[in-house]
Amino acid sequence: MEESSEPAGGWRAGEPGVLVLPSGRTVRGRGLRRELDPAAPPPSYGIYLLGKQPPPTPWEGRWVRWPDFRLPADPADARAAFAQAWRRAAHERVEVACGGGRGRTGTALACLAVLDGVPAAQAVGFVRRYYDRHAVETPWQRRFVRRFTASAT
């Protein structure tokens, strides 16, 4: 039997944009301005980090109001969305996306890493190493991650 690097229902490790968290959960980050690969499986759940409501998707999704280069308009809502995404990533294909797939998406992925046990002070480095070296673009996004705690959700 062939061994799979894909958890039940999750993303395959090594696919574009897939971040493997220390627990083995997988989450796909992406930029909405880039075309989806038609051969890639769709997510079963997505969190969309945008300044305005995104168009509907064929899968379940949640919008977090988050203007480009800024922080979430409602940090408590963002924390709840991240906690839900982290829980669902144990058994589902979860994606996190913003316009470019780096700043807001990287910040959210770093918060998911904190929820998964990565110390907040190391989460940005973790995401930059395993997702995108340019992730988490602004000083206030880095500060948001440093102050994010797993117990706050």
CA-to-CA distance for 54 and 60, rounded, in angstroms? 12
pLDDT, tens digit (0-9, with 9 covering 90-100), for 71-96: 999 999 999 999 999 999 999 999 99
Query: Does residue 118 have a pLDDT over 90?
Result: yes
Domains of the chain: 19-145 (3.90.190.10)
What does pLDDT average to over the chain? 92
User: Residue 146: how many CA atoms within 13 Å on its side-chain side?
Assistant: 7
pLDDT, tens digit (0-9, with 9 covering 90-100), for 10-53: 999 999 999 999 999 999 999 999 887 888 899 999 999 999 99
CA-to-CA distance for 10 and 80, rounded, in angstroms? 21
Is 53 strand, coil or helix? Answer: coil
pLDDT at 8: 52
Closest of 83, 86, 105 to residue 96, by C-alpha:
105
